[in-house]
Amino acid sequence: MYIYMNNFNEFAAESQEIFIDSQSGFGLSARGNQFDDFKINFNTQPFESGSDSILRLSLTQFNAAKQWYDVNENNNTFRMFNAASTNLDAGDGMITIPSGDYMNNNCLADMLTDQIRDQLQVIFKTGNPTASVESTQTISVADPTNANTGKLIPFNRTYRNTNKLIMTFTAPGTQGFDTDIVFQTLQVPIDQTVTLTGGAVLTSTQQFNDSYWLLGGKRVETYEAVPTTQSFSVQISTVTNANDTLTVKSFFSTAAEVHTLPHLYLRCDVADNQVSSNMIASTEQHNHQATHSTILGKIPRVMNGRQQVSYTLDSGLTRFFSNLNTRFMNDLRFEIVDHRGRLIPEAAPGQKDIGNMFCNFALKIEKVKIPYSPNVLQAPPPPDVPLLARTNAFSLAGTNQNINPFV
């Protein structure tokens, strides 16, 4: 312990630094691991505040290597639906982009196009084994004259890159796209159960997904049994003596850095802060009411050659802290989540238990003096009023008789 004066308050504080590394089975509980649920015990040196102080917990440094995939189960799934028609069987399922780190949006678009094409091949009528769907994609580049819209071109000051997906699929043979095909990037709160027309029940990550953010689509927040709301611009073109084409375009630019996790959030079970309610769990949409939260710090994504996600407290920056409601602290439990309170998906099973998904960080625990004791009346004593001043103001002049003014 040491005594110091700091810039955050005017009162002296006893403080101690704590350095934590979560790897190698550290602090595992029956349900814990080294990233989602780990704790530290202070059995031999617990912290306790007095009647004239409070405990304050601050995050001063955090570091974790980015060992998870940028495209993962939290952002790689969307719905594809079509009714039965002459050429197509009915279809209602989820398209999943394989998890991984994609070098750029073109690589992501290539994989996305392949997944949609494969599903289109499934729903074309059986009996046409040669049916195939050719597809092309590009990141849209627009120029002032629109002459090169949708074509990849060298960088030039007269052009602007819209970073929008454009995917084109060509129907096989004489078959055509004779029914609407609907794509939906779902963000339906997980306190609802979503069942597709074929009977499949969606998982929480399938029905509440950040694919709209990754792919530049319009999120769909209400489940439609027979969907009509489109997350992308979808057009079917029929040309005489040519095969039908299906064109799918994103409404908005795709995620420029090909991920949807700009920050991590460190939770601590004793922290007492507030957040908008939609950050607690995937059950709220636009109910931005402030509510209690155990989030202790928000850690920005910082990329370097070793792909580190790190948070560092620099001098002059406001630190993340929480004044605690408890006077005695024997242990701390931690959890790392994303912006919607979801756990960070593993790249492979066991990565959080015996693998390379862990973190290390530094905390400061302070015993902060308060300017008063909550157990002592703080009101000042009444002033000593001279006896003459206590004389009834309604006394009659020249007499010693007091007159009650309320009679």
Cα(261)–Cα(300) distance, integer angstroms:
9
- pLDDT above 80 (res 95): yes
Cα(359)–Cα(70) distance, integer angstroms:
17
- The whole-number average pLDDT for the span 172-201 is 87
The answer to whether residues 188 and 223 touch, using CB atoms and an 8 Å cutoff, is: yes
The answer to whether residues 145 and 161 touch, using CB atoms and an 8 Å cutoff, is: no
Percent of the chain whose pLDDT exceeds 70:
70
Q: For residue 353, with 0-12 CB atoms within 10 Å meaning exposed, 13-18 middle and 19 or more buried, which class applies?
A: middle
Q: What is the pLDDT of residues 378-400, one digit of tens each?
A: 666 666 655 555 445 444 444 44
Main-chain phi, psi angles of 374, to 5 degrees:
-65, -10
- pLDDT above 50 (res 405): no
**Residue 226: pLDDT band with limits 50, 70, 90:** very high
Cα(21)–Cα(394) distance, integer angstroms:
77
**Residue 309: pLDDT band with limits 50, 70, 90:** low
pTM of the prediction?
0.79
Q: For residue 388, with 0-12 CB atoms within 10 Å meaning exposed, 13-18 middle and 19 or more buried, which class applies?
A: exposed
Cα dihedral 239, 245, 251, 255 sign: negative
- Number of other residues whose CB lies within 10 A of the CB of residue 162: 18
Please, what is the average pLDDT of the chain? 78
∠ CA 20-22-28, nearest 5°, is: 120
Query: Which of 27-31, 130-134, 244-248, 371-375 is predicted most confidently?
Result: 244-248
Determine the number of helices (DSSP H) and then strands (DSSP E) in the chain: 4, 22
Domains of the chain (ranges, CATH numbers): 15-65+266-369 (2.60.120), 77-250 (no CATH)
Residue 365 host element (H or E): strand 360-369
Cα dihedral 204, 207, 209, 211 sign: positive
- The whole-number average pLDDT for the span 73-97 is 93
Q: What is the pLDDT of residues 46-80, one digit of tens each?
A: 888 888 888 999 998 888 888 899 999 999 999 99
The answer to whether residues 158 and 122 touch, using CB atoms and an 8 Å cutoff, is: no
The SS3 of residue 307 is coil
pLDDT of residue 167: 87
Q: Which two tokens stand for residue 376?
A: 């002592």
Amino acid at position 159, single letter: Y
Spacing of C-alpha 3 from chain mean position: 38
Q: What is the pLDDT of residues 257-297, one digit of tens each?
A: 899 999 999 999 999 999 888 887 666 566 668 888 999 99
Beta bridge partners of 61: 312, 362
